[in-house]
Chains A and B, each alone.
Chain A
Amino acid sequence: MMAALAHTAYPRAAQAEAASPAPERVMTTRPAANAAPAIEILSAEKVFADGTRGLAPVDLTVREGEFLSLIGPSGCGKSTLLSLVANLNEPSDGRLLWWRGGFDGVGAEGRRMSVVFQDATLMPWLRIASNVRLPLDLAGVRRAESAPRVQAALEGVGLGEKGRSYPRQLSGGMRMRAAIARGLVTEPNLLLMDEPFGALDEFTRNKLDADLVDLWWRRSLTVLFVTHSIYEAVFLSTRIVVMAARPGRIFAELTIDEPHPRGDAFRRSPCFAEYCQRLSALLTEASLASDPATTEAGA
Protein backbone atom coordinates (compact mmCIF):
# COMPACT_ATOMS: atom_id res chain seq x y z
CA MET A 1 0.00 0.00 0.00
CA MET A 2 2.82 2.38 0.83
CA ALA A 3 4.22 1.96 -2.65
CA ALA A 4 1.06 3.38 -4.14
CA LEU A 5 1.36 6.64 -2.26
CA ALA A 6 1.65 9.67 -4.43
CA HIS A 7 4.48 11.17 -2.47
CA THR A 8 8.12 11.58 -3.16
CA ALA A 9 10.94 12.22 -0.81
CA TYR A 10 11.44 15.92 -1.23
CA PRO A 11 14.08 16.54 -3.88
CA ARG A 12 16.87 18.78 -2.67
CA ALA A 13 17.27 20.09 -6.18
CA ALA A 14 18.17 23.59 -7.19
CA GLN A 15 15.22 25.91 -7.61
CA ALA A 16 16.10 26.86 -11.15
CA GLU A 17 13.09 27.59 -13.25
CA ALA A 18 12.40 30.27 -15.79
CA ALA A 19 10.67 33.39 -14.54
CA SER A 20 7.06 33.17 -15.50
CA PRO A 21 4.35 35.79 -15.28
CA ALA A 22 1.85 35.24 -12.47
CA PRO A 23 -1.09 33.45 -14.08
CA GLU A 24 -4.63 34.67 -13.72
CA ARG A 25 -6.47 32.95 -10.89
CA VAL A 26 -9.09 30.66 -12.34
CA MET A 27 -11.18 27.90 -10.84
CA THR A 28 -8.44 25.35 -11.08
CA THR A 29 -7.84 22.73 -8.49
CA ARG A 30 -4.54 24.24 -7.46
CA PRO A 31 -2.09 26.91 -8.52
CA ALA A 32 -0.21 26.08 -11.66
CA ALA A 33 3.12 24.42 -11.02
CA ASN A 34 4.81 27.25 -12.84
CA ALA A 35 3.28 30.04 -10.76
CA ALA A 36 5.84 32.60 -9.66
CA PRO A 37 7.53 31.81 -6.37
CA ALA A 38 6.55 33.95 -3.39
CA ILE A 39 9.07 32.42 -1.01
CA GLU A 40 12.19 30.50 -1.89
CA ILE A 41 14.04 28.79 0.91
CA LEU A 42 17.46 27.92 -0.41
CA SER A 43 19.43 25.42 1.66
CA ALA A 44 18.48 27.34 4.76
CA GLU A 45 19.92 25.84 7.90
CA LYS A 46 19.43 26.80 11.52
CA VAL A 47 21.79 25.89 14.32
CA PHE A 48 20.85 27.51 17.62
CA ALA A 49 23.31 29.06 20.02
CA ASP A 50 23.20 25.96 22.22
CA GLY A 51 24.17 23.74 19.27
CA THR A 52 20.65 22.40 18.59
CA ARG A 53 20.18 21.72 14.92
CA GLY A 54 16.77 23.29 14.51
CA LEU A 55 16.85 22.83 10.76
CA ALA A 56 19.08 20.80 8.51
CA PRO A 57 19.47 22.53 5.14
CA VAL A 58 15.95 22.97 3.77
CA ASP A 59 14.89 23.74 0.24
CA LEU A 60 11.33 24.76 -0.31
CA THR A 61 9.48 27.01 -2.71
CA VAL A 62 6.11 28.49 -1.85
CA ARG A 63 4.39 29.55 -5.05
CA GLU A 64 1.95 32.38 -5.38
CA GLY A 65 -1.57 31.22 -4.71
CA GLU A 66 -0.54 28.09 -2.86
CA PHE A 67 -1.99 27.01 0.43
CA LEU A 68 1.01 25.17 1.78
CA SER A 69 0.88 23.42 5.13
CA LEU A 70 3.79 22.25 7.23
CA ILE A 71 3.09 19.25 9.43
CA GLY A 72 5.34 17.06 11.51
CA PRO A 73 6.14 15.80 14.99
CA SER A 74 6.71 18.52 17.53
CA GLY A 75 10.22 19.86 17.56
CA CYS A 76 10.73 19.22 13.85
CA GLY A 77 11.40 22.88 13.14
CA LYS A 78 8.07 24.05 11.74
CA SER A 79 8.06 27.20 13.84
CA THR A 80 11.73 27.74 13.17
CA LEU A 81 11.12 27.54 9.43
CA LEU A 82 8.20 29.94 9.68
CA SER A 83 10.24 32.40 11.73
CA LEU A 84 12.88 32.38 9.01
CA VAL A 85 10.25 33.23 6.43
CA ALA A 86 8.88 35.97 8.73
CA ASN A 87 12.45 37.25 9.07
CA LEU A 88 12.17 36.99 12.85
CA ASN A 89 15.19 34.75 12.71
CA GLU A 90 18.20 34.51 10.42
CA PRO A 91 19.33 31.23 8.85
CA SER A 92 22.74 30.08 10.06
CA ASP A 93 23.50 29.14 6.50
CA GLY A 94 21.74 29.31 3.15
CA ARG A 95 19.31 32.07 2.32
CA LEU A 96 15.75 33.02 1.58
CA LEU A 97 14.18 35.02 -1.19
CA TRP A 98 10.93 36.89 -0.90
CA TRP A 99 9.33 37.42 -4.31
CA ARG A 100 12.76 36.72 -5.80
CA GLY A 101 14.34 39.51 -3.77
CA GLY A 102 15.66 40.36 -0.36
CA PHE A 103 13.51 41.07 2.66
CA ASP A 104 13.80 44.82 2.04
CA GLY A 105 11.29 44.48 -0.79
CA VAL A 106 8.65 42.97 1.50
CA GLY A 107 5.88 45.39 2.32
CA ALA A 108 5.71 46.94 -1.13
CA GLU A 109 2.54 46.70 -3.18
CA GLY A 110 1.85 43.06 -4.04
CA ARG A 111 4.49 41.87 -1.55
CA ARG A 112 2.80 42.38 1.76
CA MET A 113 3.22 39.77 4.45
CA SER A 114 1.31 39.12 7.66
CA VAL A 115 1.87 36.68 10.48
CA VAL A 116 -0.69 35.06 12.75
CA PHE A 117 0.79 33.28 15.75
CA GLN A 118 -0.51 30.40 17.82
CA ASP A 119 -1.72 32.79 20.51
CA ALA A 120 -3.87 35.68 19.48
CA THR A 121 -1.15 38.04 20.83
CA LEU A 122 -3.52 40.93 21.26
CA MET A 123 -2.54 43.89 23.41
CA PRO A 124 -4.76 43.57 26.50
CA TRP A 125 -4.84 47.34 27.00
CA LEU A 126 -6.24 48.09 23.55
CA ARG A 127 -9.77 47.63 22.34
CA ILE A 128 -10.23 45.06 19.58
CA ALA A 129 -10.52 47.75 16.90
CA SER A 130 -7.26 49.38 18.03
CA ASN A 131 -5.56 46.00 18.09
CA VAL A 132 -6.65 45.34 14.53
CA ARG A 133 -5.56 48.85 13.52
CA LEU A 134 -2.05 48.39 14.93
CA PRO A 135 -0.30 47.40 11.66
CA LEU A 136 -1.87 50.39 9.91
CA ASP A 137 -0.91 52.73 12.76
CA LEU A 138 2.65 51.46 12.64
CA ALA A 139 2.74 52.08 8.90
CA GLY A 140 1.53 55.64 9.47
CA VAL A 141 -1.86 55.24 7.81
CA ARG A 142 -4.16 58.10 8.81
CA ARG A 143 -7.20 57.40 10.97
CA ALA A 144 -9.66 58.55 8.35
CA GLU A 145 -8.32 55.91 6.01
CA SER A 146 -7.68 53.15 8.52
CA ALA A 147 -11.03 53.27 10.34
CA PRO A 148 -13.15 51.86 7.50
CA ARG A 149 -10.51 49.24 6.71
CA VAL A 150 -10.46 48.11 10.33
CA GLN A 151 -14.24 47.88 10.38
CA ALA A 152 -14.23 45.91 7.13
CA ALA A 153 -11.60 43.52 8.49
CA LEU A 154 -13.61 43.01 11.66
CA GLU A 155 -16.77 42.35 9.71
CA GLY A 156 -14.85 39.94 7.51
CA VAL A 157 -14.21 37.71 10.53
CA GLY A 158 -17.65 38.24 12.05
CA LEU A 159 -16.56 40.66 14.75
CA GLY A 160 -18.20 43.78 13.35
CA GLU A 161 -19.93 44.46 16.65
CA LYS A 162 -16.94 43.77 18.89
CA GLY A 163 -14.60 46.59 17.94
CA ARG A 164 -15.08 48.39 21.23
CA SER A 165 -14.55 45.33 23.42
CA TYR A 166 -11.34 44.49 25.17
CA PRO A 167 -9.61 41.20 24.36
CA ARG A 168 -10.39 39.69 27.77
CA GLN A 169 -14.10 40.18 27.12
CA LEU A 170 -13.93 37.86 24.11
CA SER A 171 -13.82 34.08 23.87
CA GLY A 172 -10.69 32.32 22.65
CA GLY A 173 -12.20 31.82 19.20
CA MET A 174 -13.17 35.48 18.93
CA ARG A 175 -9.71 36.58 19.99
CA MET A 176 -8.21 34.38 17.30
CA ARG A 177 -10.59 35.94 14.77
CA ALA A 178 -9.43 39.36 15.87
CA ALA A 179 -5.83 38.27 15.34
CA ILE A 180 -6.75 37.11 11.86
CA ALA A 181 -8.50 40.41 11.17
CA ARG A 182 -5.31 42.17 12.23
CA GLY A 183 -3.37 39.93 9.88
CA LEU A 184 -5.71 40.74 7.02
CA VAL A 185 -6.19 44.47 7.54
CA THR A 186 -3.00 45.23 5.66
CA GLU A 187 -4.39 43.25 2.71
CA PRO A 188 -1.42 40.90 2.66
CA ASN A 189 -0.43 38.78 -0.27
CA LEU A 190 1.31 36.23 1.90
CA LEU A 191 -0.09 35.00 5.18
CA LEU A 192 2.09 33.03 7.60
CA MET A 193 0.23 31.12 10.28
CA ASP A 194 1.79 29.09 13.09
CA GLU A 195 -0.79 26.66 14.49
CA PRO A 196 -3.29 29.48 14.65
CA PHE A 197 -6.20 27.33 15.78
CA GLY A 198 -4.23 24.86 17.87
CA ALA A 199 -5.71 26.05 21.15
CA LEU A 200 -9.32 26.03 20.00
CA ASP A 201 -11.97 23.36 20.29
CA GLU A 202 -12.66 21.27 17.21
CA PHE A 203 -15.96 22.90 16.34
CA THR A 204 -14.55 26.42 16.40
CA ARG A 205 -11.49 25.26 14.55
CA ASN A 206 -13.55 23.72 11.72
CA LYS A 207 -15.53 26.92 11.39
CA LEU A 208 -12.41 29.08 11.25
CA ASP A 209 -10.78 26.67 8.81
CA ALA A 210 -13.76 26.97 6.48
CA ASP A 211 -13.64 30.77 6.72
CA LEU A 212 -9.90 30.79 6.12
CA VAL A 213 -9.98 28.61 3.04
CA ASP A 214 -12.82 30.75 1.68
CA LEU A 215 -10.81 33.89 2.28
CA TRP A 216 -7.71 32.38 0.71
CA TRP A 217 -9.77 31.56 -2.34
CA ARG A 218 -11.52 34.91 -2.69
CA ARG A 219 -8.45 37.04 -2.06
CA SER A 220 -5.95 34.92 -4.02
CA LEU A 221 -3.76 34.76 -0.94
CA THR A 222 -0.64 32.72 -0.57
CA VAL A 223 -0.68 30.91 2.76
CA LEU A 224 2.07 29.12 4.63
CA PHE A 225 0.33 27.27 7.43
CA VAL A 226 1.76 25.27 10.32
CA THR A 227 -0.49 22.69 11.90
CA HIS A 228 -0.34 19.43 13.77
CA SER A 229 -3.81 18.37 12.68
CA ILE A 230 -4.01 15.93 9.80
CA TYR A 231 -7.63 16.82 9.05
CA GLU A 232 -6.96 20.51 9.06
CA ALA A 233 -3.98 20.12 6.73
CA VAL A 234 -5.92 18.02 4.24
CA PHE A 235 -8.98 20.24 4.34
CA LEU A 236 -7.08 23.47 3.77
CA SER A 237 -4.03 22.78 1.72
CA THR A 238 -3.14 22.56 -1.90
CA ARG A 239 0.15 21.01 -0.81
CA ILE A 240 1.38 19.54 2.45
CA VAL A 241 5.01 19.29 3.45
CA VAL A 242 5.77 16.65 6.08
CA MET A 243 8.76 17.36 8.26
CA ALA A 244 10.88 15.11 10.47
CA ALA A 245 12.88 16.07 13.54
CA ARG A 246 16.44 15.84 14.84
CA PRO A 247 17.52 17.55 12.75
CA GLY A 248 14.45 19.37 11.42
CA ARG A 249 14.09 18.62 7.74
CA ILE A 250 11.58 18.04 4.98
CA PHE A 251 10.60 14.41 4.86
CA ALA A 252 7.93 14.15 2.18
CA GLU A 253 5.22 16.10 0.47
CA LEU A 254 1.68 15.44 -0.54
CA THR A 255 -0.41 17.34 -3.05
CA ILE A 256 -4.12 17.65 -2.28
CA ASP A 257 -5.49 17.78 -5.78
CA GLU A 258 -9.08 18.68 -4.97
CA PRO A 259 -11.14 21.57 -6.29
CA HIS A 260 -11.86 24.73 -4.38
CA PRO A 261 -13.87 26.14 -2.76
CA ARG A 262 -14.06 23.21 -0.37
CA GLY A 263 -16.80 22.72 2.15
CA ASP A 264 -18.29 20.16 4.46
CA ALA A 265 -18.99 17.92 1.49
CA PHE A 266 -15.26 17.53 0.98
CA ARG A 267 -14.73 16.81 4.66
CA ARG A 268 -17.21 13.93 4.45
CA SER A 269 -16.07 12.55 1.09
CA PRO A 270 -14.19 9.24 0.82
CA CYS A 271 -11.24 10.89 -0.86
CA PHE A 272 -10.83 13.16 2.19
CA ALA A 273 -10.50 10.09 4.37
CA GLU A 274 -8.06 8.61 1.92
CA TYR A 275 -5.85 11.70 1.96
CA CYS A 276 -5.94 11.66 5.73
CA GLN A 277 -4.81 8.05 5.80
CA ARG A 278 -1.95 8.76 3.46
CA LEU A 279 -0.86 11.75 5.46
CA SER A 280 -1.15 9.79 8.68
CA ALA A 281 1.09 7.08 7.27
CA LEU A 282 3.62 9.67 6.18
CA LEU A 283 3.58 11.23 9.61
CA THR A 284 4.21 7.88 11.24
CA GLU A 285 7.18 7.37 8.97
CA ALA A 286 8.40 10.87 9.73
CA SER A 287 8.11 10.22 13.46
CA LEU A 288 10.09 7.02 13.16
CA ALA A 289 12.70 8.85 11.15
CA SER A 290 12.77 11.44 13.92
CA ASP A 291 13.71 8.96 16.61
CA PRO A 292 17.25 9.78 17.72
CA ALA A 293 18.19 6.08 17.52
CA THR A 294 17.02 5.64 13.93
CA THR A 295 17.83 9.09 12.59
CA GLU A 296 21.09 8.04 10.97
CA ALA A 297 19.55 5.00 9.26
CA GLY A 298 16.29 6.71 8.35
CA ALA A 299 17.83 9.81 6.84
Chain B
Amino acid sequence: MKRPLIRDPWVQAALPPLLVGIVVLSLWEAACRGFAIPEYLFPAPSVIAASLVQNGPDLLRALWSTMRVTLIAFALSTVLGTLVAFLFVQSRFIERGFFPYAVMLQVTPVVAVAPLIIILVRDTQVALVICATIIAIFPMISNTTVGLRSVDPGLANLMRVYRASRMQTLLRLRIPSALGYFFAGLRISSGLALIGAVVAEFVAGTGGRSAGLAYEILQAGFQLDIPRMFAALSLITAAGILLFLAMSGLSRLALGSWGDPERV
Protein backbone atom coordinates (compact mmCIF):
# COMPACT_ATOMS: atom_id res chain seq x y z
CA MET B 1 0.00 0.00 0.00
CA LYS B 2 1.96 2.94 -1.25
CA ARG B 3 -0.83 5.44 -1.53
CA PRO B 4 -0.88 8.36 0.91
CA LEU B 5 -2.82 7.87 4.13
CA ILE B 6 -5.28 10.61 3.20
CA ARG B 7 -6.38 8.62 0.14
CA ASP B 8 -7.06 5.46 2.11
CA PRO B 9 -10.81 4.74 1.84
CA TRP B 10 -10.99 4.05 5.55
CA VAL B 11 -9.45 7.39 6.38
CA GLN B 12 -11.70 9.09 3.85
CA ALA B 13 -14.75 7.51 5.43
CA ALA B 14 -13.74 8.18 9.04
CA LEU B 15 -12.16 11.59 8.74
CA PRO B 16 -15.22 13.85 8.17
CA PRO B 17 -17.31 12.52 11.07
CA LEU B 18 -14.20 12.57 13.28
CA LEU B 19 -13.57 16.22 12.46
CA VAL B 20 -17.21 17.14 13.07
CA GLY B 21 -17.09 15.30 16.39
CA ILE B 22 -13.94 17.07 17.51
CA VAL B 23 -15.34 20.47 16.55
CA VAL B 24 -18.65 19.86 18.36
CA LEU B 25 -16.94 18.54 21.49
CA SER B 26 -14.54 21.52 21.52
CA LEU B 27 -17.40 24.01 21.18
CA TRP B 28 -19.31 22.20 23.90
CA GLU B 29 -16.29 22.24 26.20
CA ALA B 30 -15.58 25.91 25.42
CA ALA B 31 -19.21 26.91 25.99
CA CYS B 32 -19.39 25.10 29.35
CA ARG B 33 -16.19 26.82 30.51
CA GLY B 34 -16.89 30.19 28.93
CA PHE B 35 -20.38 30.54 30.37
CA ALA B 36 -19.37 28.73 33.55
CA ILE B 37 -22.32 26.33 33.30
CA PRO B 38 -22.49 24.29 36.51
CA GLU B 39 -21.84 20.61 35.93
CA TYR B 40 -25.07 19.54 37.62
CA LEU B 41 -26.91 21.37 34.84
CA PHE B 42 -24.88 20.46 31.81
CA PRO B 43 -21.43 18.92 32.24
CA ALA B 44 -18.55 19.55 29.87
CA PRO B 45 -17.13 16.59 27.89
CA SER B 46 -14.01 16.57 30.07
CA VAL B 47 -16.14 16.24 33.21
CA ILE B 48 -18.11 13.38 31.64
CA ALA B 49 -14.89 11.65 30.67
CA ALA B 50 -13.57 12.02 34.20
CA SER B 51 -16.80 10.56 35.57
CA LEU B 52 -16.52 7.71 33.09
CA VAL B 53 -13.06 6.88 34.39
CA GLN B 54 -14.00 7.36 38.04
CA ASN B 55 -17.12 5.18 37.82
CA GLY B 56 -15.47 2.86 35.33
CA PRO B 57 -15.91 -0.49 37.10
CA ASP B 58 -19.57 0.11 38.01
CA LEU B 59 -20.46 1.41 34.58
CA LEU B 60 -18.68 -1.41 32.81
CA ARG B 61 -20.47 -3.96 34.94
CA ALA B 62 -23.76 -2.26 34.04
CA LEU B 63 -22.76 -2.13 30.38
CA TRP B 64 -22.02 -5.84 30.41
CA SER B 65 -25.38 -6.54 31.99
CA THR B 66 -27.19 -4.49 29.33
CA MET B 67 -25.17 -5.99 26.51
CA ARG B 68 -25.83 -9.52 27.74
CA VAL B 69 -29.57 -8.93 27.65
CA THR B 70 -29.25 -7.23 24.26
CA LEU B 71 -27.18 -10.00 22.72
CA ILE B 72 -29.33 -12.83 24.06
CA ALA B 73 -32.50 -11.07 22.87
CA PHE B 74 -30.88 -10.39 19.50
CA ALA B 75 -29.81 -14.02 19.12
CA LEU B 76 -33.28 -15.23 20.10
CA SER B 77 -34.90 -12.81 17.66
CA THR B 78 -32.65 -13.96 14.87
CA VAL B 79 -33.23 -17.66 15.44
CA LEU B 80 -36.94 -17.49 16.27
CA GLY B 81 -37.67 -14.79 13.70
CA THR B 82 -36.00 -16.78 10.94
CA LEU B 83 -37.84 -19.95 11.97
CA VAL B 84 -41.16 -18.12 11.96
CA ALA B 85 -40.34 -16.66 8.53
CA PHE B 86 -39.64 -20.14 7.16
CA LEU B 87 -42.97 -21.29 8.59
CA PHE B 88 -44.74 -18.32 7.01
CA VAL B 89 -43.45 -19.07 3.54
CA GLN B 90 -44.43 -22.71 3.82
CA SER B 91 -48.09 -21.85 3.65
CA ARG B 92 -50.20 -18.79 3.10
CA PHE B 93 -52.63 -20.10 5.70
CA ILE B 94 -50.03 -20.04 8.45
CA GLU B 95 -48.91 -16.59 7.42
CA ARG B 96 -52.45 -15.20 7.28
CA GLY B 97 -53.24 -16.79 10.62
CA PHE B 98 -50.21 -15.54 12.52
CA PHE B 99 -49.14 -12.34 10.83
CA PRO B 100 -51.69 -10.11 12.59
CA TYR B 101 -50.33 -11.32 15.92
CA ALA B 102 -46.79 -10.57 14.87
CA VAL B 103 -47.98 -7.06 13.99
CA MET B 104 -49.70 -6.86 17.38
CA LEU B 105 -46.40 -7.63 19.07
CA GLN B 106 -44.79 -4.92 17.01
CA VAL B 107 -47.29 -2.12 17.55
CA THR B 108 -47.72 -2.59 21.31
CA PRO B 109 -45.12 -0.33 22.97
CA VAL B 110 -42.70 -2.35 25.10
CA VAL B 111 -42.86 0.24 27.83
CA ALA B 112 -46.51 -0.63 28.22
CA VAL B 113 -45.99 -4.38 28.37
CA ALA B 114 -42.73 -4.40 30.29
CA PRO B 115 -44.25 -3.85 33.77
CA LEU B 116 -46.57 -6.80 33.23
CA ILE B 117 -43.75 -9.07 32.10
CA ILE B 118 -41.51 -7.97 34.92
CA ILE B 119 -44.24 -8.76 37.43
CA LEU B 120 -45.10 -12.09 35.80
CA VAL B 121 -41.54 -13.33 35.36
CA ARG B 122 -39.62 -13.89 38.55
CA ASP B 123 -36.12 -13.68 37.14
CA THR B 124 -35.34 -10.08 36.20
CA GLN B 125 -32.81 -11.06 33.54
CA VAL B 126 -35.29 -13.39 31.86
CA ALA B 127 -37.96 -10.70 31.97
CA LEU B 128 -35.59 -8.21 30.37
CA VAL B 129 -34.67 -10.66 27.63
CA ILE B 130 -38.34 -11.32 26.90
CA CYS B 131 -39.10 -7.60 26.60
CA ALA B 132 -36.16 -6.95 24.31
CA THR B 133 -36.98 -9.97 22.17
CA ILE B 134 -40.57 -8.87 21.70
CA ILE B 135 -39.44 -5.63 20.15
CA ALA B 136 -36.47 -7.01 18.20
CA ILE B 137 -38.09 -10.04 16.59
CA PHE B 138 -40.52 -8.32 14.26
CA PRO B 139 -38.02 -6.98 11.68
CA MET B 140 -36.43 -10.43 11.56
CA ILE B 141 -39.78 -12.06 10.82
CA SER B 142 -40.96 -9.54 8.26
CA ASN B 143 -37.65 -9.04 6.50
CA THR B 144 -36.84 -12.73 6.22
CA THR B 145 -40.37 -13.52 5.05
CA VAL B 146 -40.23 -10.85 2.37
CA GLY B 147 -36.75 -12.04 1.43
CA LEU B 148 -37.78 -15.67 1.08
CA ARG B 149 -40.67 -14.56 -1.10
CA SER B 150 -38.58 -12.17 -3.18
CA VAL B 151 -37.50 -14.86 -5.58
CA ASP B 152 -37.03 -13.70 -9.18
CA PRO B 153 -39.87 -15.44 -11.08
CA GLY B 154 -37.52 -16.13 -13.98
CA LEU B 155 -35.15 -18.00 -11.69
CA ALA B 156 -38.08 -19.83 -10.14
CA ASN B 157 -39.13 -20.96 -13.64
CA LEU B 158 -35.57 -21.99 -14.33
CA MET B 159 -35.57 -24.22 -11.26
CA ARG B 160 -38.84 -25.78 -12.43
CA VAL B 161 -37.53 -26.37 -15.94
CA TYR B 162 -34.59 -28.27 -14.48
CA ARG B 163 -36.91 -30.07 -12.09
CA ALA B 164 -35.30 -28.88 -8.89
CA SER B 165 -36.74 -30.43 -5.74
CA ARG B 166 -38.33 -28.27 -3.07
CA MET B 167 -35.19 -28.58 -0.99
CA GLN B 168 -32.91 -27.66 -3.89
CA THR B 169 -35.04 -24.61 -4.64
CA LEU B 170 -34.94 -23.57 -1.00
CA LEU B 171 -31.18 -23.96 -0.66
CA ARG B 172 -30.08 -22.70 -4.03
CA LEU B 173 -32.65 -20.01 -4.73
CA ARG B 174 -34.83 -18.95 -1.82
CA ILE B 175 -32.18 -18.61 0.86
CA PRO B 176 -29.65 -16.77 -1.33
CA SER B 177 -32.42 -14.44 -2.55
CA ALA B 178 -33.37 -13.72 1.05
CA LEU B 179 -29.89 -12.94 2.36
CA GLY B 180 -29.93 -9.23 1.54
CA TYR B 181 -33.22 -8.75 3.38
CA PHE B 182 -32.05 -10.98 6.20
CA PHE B 183 -28.99 -8.85 6.87
CA ALA B 184 -31.00 -5.64 6.67
CA GLY B 185 -33.27 -7.27 9.27
CA LEU B 186 -30.24 -8.04 11.44
CA ARG B 187 -29.15 -4.39 11.40
CA ILE B 188 -32.57 -3.13 12.47
CA SER B 189 -33.11 -5.90 14.96
CA SER B 190 -29.77 -5.43 16.74
CA GLY B 191 -30.59 -1.77 17.38
CA LEU B 192 -34.08 -2.61 18.57
CA ALA B 193 -32.74 -5.28 20.93
CA LEU B 194 -30.62 -2.63 22.64
CA ILE B 195 -33.54 -0.22 22.85
CA GLY B 196 -35.76 -2.98 24.20
CA ALA B 197 -33.18 -3.95 26.81
CA VAL B 198 -32.72 -0.37 28.01
CA VAL B 199 -36.44 0.37 28.14
CA ALA B 200 -37.09 -2.82 30.08
CA GLU B 201 -34.27 -1.96 32.47
CA PHE B 202 -35.86 1.42 33.15
CA VAL B 203 -39.14 -0.23 34.01
CA ALA B 204 -37.43 -2.84 36.17
CA GLY B 205 -35.26 -0.14 37.75
CA THR B 206 -38.29 1.96 38.64
CA GLY B 207 -39.70 -1.11 40.32
CA GLY B 208 -36.53 -1.38 42.40
CA ARG B 209 -35.03 -4.37 40.59
CA SER B 210 -31.60 -3.17 39.64
CA ALA B 211 -30.08 -3.91 36.26
CA GLY B 212 -27.88 -2.41 33.60
CA LEU B 213 -27.07 1.02 32.32
CA ALA B 214 -30.65 2.30 32.51
CA TYR B 215 -30.57 1.60 36.23
CA GLU B 216 -27.30 3.53 36.43
CA ILE B 217 -28.99 6.47 34.70
CA LEU B 218 -31.95 6.30 37.08
CA GLN B 219 -29.68 6.16 40.12
CA ALA B 220 -27.50 9.00 38.86
CA GLY B 221 -30.69 11.01 38.34
CA PHE B 222 -31.83 10.42 41.93
CA GLN B 223 -28.43 11.54 43.19
CA LEU B 224 -28.26 14.47 40.74
CA ASP B 225 -24.93 13.07 39.52
CA ILE B 226 -25.43 14.44 36.02
CA PRO B 227 -21.90 13.69 34.70
CA ARG B 228 -22.41 10.05 35.64
CA MET B 229 -25.75 10.07 33.84
CA PHE B 230 -24.05 11.37 30.70
CA ALA B 231 -21.30 8.80 31.09
CA ALA B 232 -23.84 5.96 31.19
CA LEU B 233 -25.68 7.48 28.25
CA SER B 234 -22.49 7.67 26.19
CA LEU B 235 -21.87 3.98 26.85
CA ILE B 236 -25.34 3.07 25.57
CA THR B 237 -24.71 5.11 22.43
CA ALA B 238 -21.30 3.50 21.95
CA ALA B 239 -22.85 0.04 22.34
CA GLY B 240 -25.48 0.89 19.72
CA ILE B 241 -22.89 2.15 17.26
CA LEU B 242 -20.75 -0.93 17.80
CA LEU B 243 -23.69 -3.22 17.14
CA PHE B 244 -24.57 -1.35 13.98
CA LEU B 245 -21.00 -1.45 12.70
CA ALA B 246 -20.69 -5.14 13.52
CA MET B 247 -23.87 -5.95 11.59
CA SER B 248 -22.85 -3.82 8.63
CA GLY B 249 -19.45 -5.52 8.58
CA LEU B 250 -21.04 -8.96 8.81
CA SER B 251 -23.40 -8.23 5.95
CA ARG B 252 -20.58 -6.86 3.84
CA LEU B 253 -18.55 -9.99 4.55
CA ALA B 254 -21.41 -12.28 3.63
CA LEU B 255 -22.72 -10.38 0.62
CA GLY B 256 -19.46 -8.78 -0.38
CA SER B 257 -18.89 -10.86 -3.45
CA TRP B 258 -22.09 -9.85 -5.13
CA GLY B 259 -22.83 -6.73 -3.16
CA ASP B 260 -26.12 -5.21 -2.14
CA PRO B 261 -28.82 -5.84 -4.71
CA GLU B 262 -29.28 -2.06 -4.86
CA ARG B 263 -25.64 -1.49 -5.63
CA VAL B 264 -25.45 -3.71 -8.70
Please report A residues at the B interface, Cβ cutoff 8 Å.
Answer: 86-88, 107, 113-115, 117, 119, 121, 123-125, 134-135, 137-139, 166, 168, 186
Q: A88-B157, A134-B172 are in contact. Are A125 and B258 (CB under 8 A)?
A: yes
Contact of B152 among A113, A121, A186 (CB under 8 A): A121
Q: Is residue B264 contacting chain A, with contact meaning CB distance below 8 A? A: yes
**What A residues does B154 contact at CB under 8 A?**
117, 119, 121
Query: Least Cβ distance of A163 to chain B in Å?
Result: 15
CB–CB A166/B162 < 8 A = no
Please name all residues of chain A whose beta carbon is closer than 8 Å to the beta carbon of B259 when the two chains form the complex. 168
| 10 extra A-B contacts, CB within 8 A, seeds A117-B158, A123-B173 | A114-B161, A119-B154, A121-B155, A123-B172, A123-B176, A125-B179, A125-B257, A138-B164, A138-B172, A168-B259
Contact (Cβ within 8 A) A138 B168: yes
A115-B161 in contact (CB<8A): yes
In the complex, number of A-B residue pairs with CB atoms less than 8 Å apart: 51
A117 touches B168 (CB 8 A): no
A139 touches B157 (CB 8 A): no
B160 at interface (Cβ–Cβ under 8 A)? yes
Please determine whether B158 and A168 come into contact, CB atoms closer than 8 angstroms: no
B159 CB–A CB distance under 8 Å: yes
Would you give the shortest CB distance from A109 to chain B, in whole angstroms? 16
Complex Cα distance A76/B117, Å? 62
Chain B interface SS verdict (over half)? helix
Q: B176 — which chain A residues lie within 8 A by C-beta? A: 123, 125
Of A134, A139, A166, A168, most buried by chain B (CB within 10 Å of CB) is A134
| In the complex, B92 has a CB within 8 A of chain A | no
Indicate if B163 sits at the interface (CB-CB under 8 A): yes
Is B163 in contact with A123, judged by CB distance below 8 angstroms?
A: no
What are the residues of chain B within 8 A of A186 when measuring CB–CB? 162
Between A and B, 30 residue pairs with Cβ closer than 8 Å are: A86-B157, A86-B161, A87-B160, A88-B161, A114-B161, A115-B157, A115-B158, A115-B161, A121-B154, A121-B157, A123-B155, A123-B172, A123-B173, A123-B176, A124-B261, A124-B264, A125-B176, A125-B179, A125-B257, A125-B258, A134-B158, A134-B162, A135-B162, A138-B162, A138-B163, A138-B172, A139-B162, A166-B257, A168-B258, A168-B259
Main secondary structure of the interface of A (DSSP, over half): loop
Cα A119 to Cα B154 with chains together (Å)? 8
Known: A125-B176, A125-B258, A166-B257. A88 touches B264 (CB 8 A): no
Contact of B159 among A86, A138, A168 (CB under 8 A): A138
Once the chains bind, are B158 and A121 in contact (CB under 8 Å)? yes
User: Measured between C-beta atoms, what is the minimum distance from B107 to chain A in Å?
Assistant: 34
Closest to A118 in B: B154
Cβ distance A174 to chain B, nearest Cβ, rounded Å: 15
Tell me which residues across on chain A come within 8 A of B155, comparing CB atoms: 121, 123
B32 to chain A: closest CB distance in Å? 52
CA distance A2 to B173 in the complex (A): 51
Closest partner residue, chain A, to B259 (CB atom): A168
Give the docked Cα–Cα distance between A113 and B162 (Å).
9
CB distance from A90 to the nearest CB of B (A): 12
